[in-house]
Amino acid sequence: MNPERIDLLMEKYGVDWVVVEGSGSATSLFYLTRGAHIGSGIFLKERGKSPILIHIDMERDNVKHLTDFSLVSFSSLNLRDLNQIKDPVERGFAYYKRIFERFGVSGKVYFQGERFNNVSLEVFKRISSELSGIQFPPIKEDIIYIARRQKTEEEIERLRSVATRTQEAFLVLIDYLKKLDRSSGYLEDNGRPVTIGAARVFLRNELIKRGLIDSSGMIIAQGRDGGVPHNHGNDEEPIKVGTPIVFDIYPREYGGGFYFDMTRTYSFGEPSKDVIDAFEQVRYIQEEAVKQAIEGKACKELEELVVNYFESKGHETLRKNPQAQEGYVHSLGHGVGLDVHELPVINLNTEHTLEKGDVFTIEPGLYYPSKGFGIRIEDTLYIDKEGRTVNLTFVPKVLVL
């Protein structure tokens, strides 16, 4: 979290205070507290001033790394005596009234709450009408989500570590699968077919050994399943020789933290000519898009590059047919961070331009479930403080193993 970036966005949107409430696992609070392990807390920041964090007393050791914060315990605010108020709206109003008055919150306030509901709505209506000088302007953008887009150097290093560990784990799986017996037409270990599910469990264990977790569910989709972009694959299916498998792996740091996202398509044995031709096309345009993903590049232009190429090769695209189910039917990329999908967006409708601090994917693919295959190749890249594009992905882009 970069307080200066928060200040710039507060100025842009005309905000005097930011108040974020939630659990430590909520992405916004996790970001603002630089990954502090807290059960719950409230982040407050006046524009141009140091942040404030209200935390549970017994979690004081978990926040002491926030040396640029004012750290305040819930108990010091004597909030427990408010629990005797039975009406939830009255209790919520008294709760925030005490907090806002204690820290001098006033002017235009941007509030974000993890557990916001109808009671919360009534509470904030009362605050607006009864606490003079406080307004909740109708800001249509998520300021914290926008702030998360540009990663600091420290955040980039954490992402780099996740990238390296993910690929090390993945290569252990691939090395294991490559060595299996193929004589029956399936990959077998001591005479028993190895299934998609077994490969998934193997990789999850390797990720755990490296402090990573498959919290969102990896894709290992074989044959026809790989032809549907977000089909996660059939765990009961044995791995077949000569059939392409889409491996889309996106783990995160254990206990919450940054994601990494990569995809490779492999075939254990020679696949059909259609598969080989499709793979070569995807690999070519993926590498071209990576070359052109530079600072200042309009994200829409990257998508247009890929769409134009695939259409020139006779493939259906969503530009030609928004209802298309086969061909190039998946957008080119997205940002990566504390969520696996963040800003910037890379598609035909975006207005985003690549900037310093962006971490993003380039992942074209061709999808033909009717022909029994799908191909996707995905790298995660970032633009460093010098404006150079750096590829975090080093796993080979080959088809046949």
DSSP secondary structure string, 332-386? SEEE-SSSSSEEEEESTT---B--TT-EEEE--EEEEGGGTEEEE-BEEEEE-TT
Residue with the bigger pLDDT between 235 and 92: it is: 235
The runs of H, that is alpha helices, within 131-195 are 143-147, 153-178
Check residue 101 and give its pLDDT.
94
Domain 3-147 CATH superfamily: Creatinase/prolidase N-terminal domain (3.40.350.10)
Task: Give pLDDT tens digits for 26-67.
Answer: 899 999 999 999 999 999 999 999 999 999 999 999 999 999
Single pTM value for the model: 0.93
Q: Which amino acid is at 222?
A: Q
Please say whether the beta carbons of 116 and 22 come within 8 A.
Answer: no
pLDDT at 23 exceeding the cut of 90: no
How many whole angstroms separate alpha carbon 226 and alpha carbon 245? 6
| Residue 276 token pair | 């080989």
- Measured distance between the N- and C-terminal CA atoms of the chain, rounded to whole angstroms: 42
Is beta strand 333-335 parallel, antiparallel or unpaired with respect to 342-346? antiparallel
Task: Give pLDDT tens digits for 165-202.
Answer: 999 999 999 999 999 999 999 999 999 999 999 999 99
Sketch the domain layout of the chain as residue ranges. Answer: 3-147, 153-391
Task: Give pLDDT tens digits for 298-331.
Answer: 999 999 999 999 999 999 999 999 999 999 999 9
What is the dotted CATH code of the domain comprising 153-391?
Answer: 3.90.230.10
The number of CA neighbours under 13 Å toward the Cβ of 80 is 6
Please say whether the beta carbons of 121 and 111 come within 8 A.
Answer: no
Task: Give pLDDT tens digits for 211-261.
Answer: 999 988 999 999 999 999 999 999 999 999 999 999 999 999 988 899 999
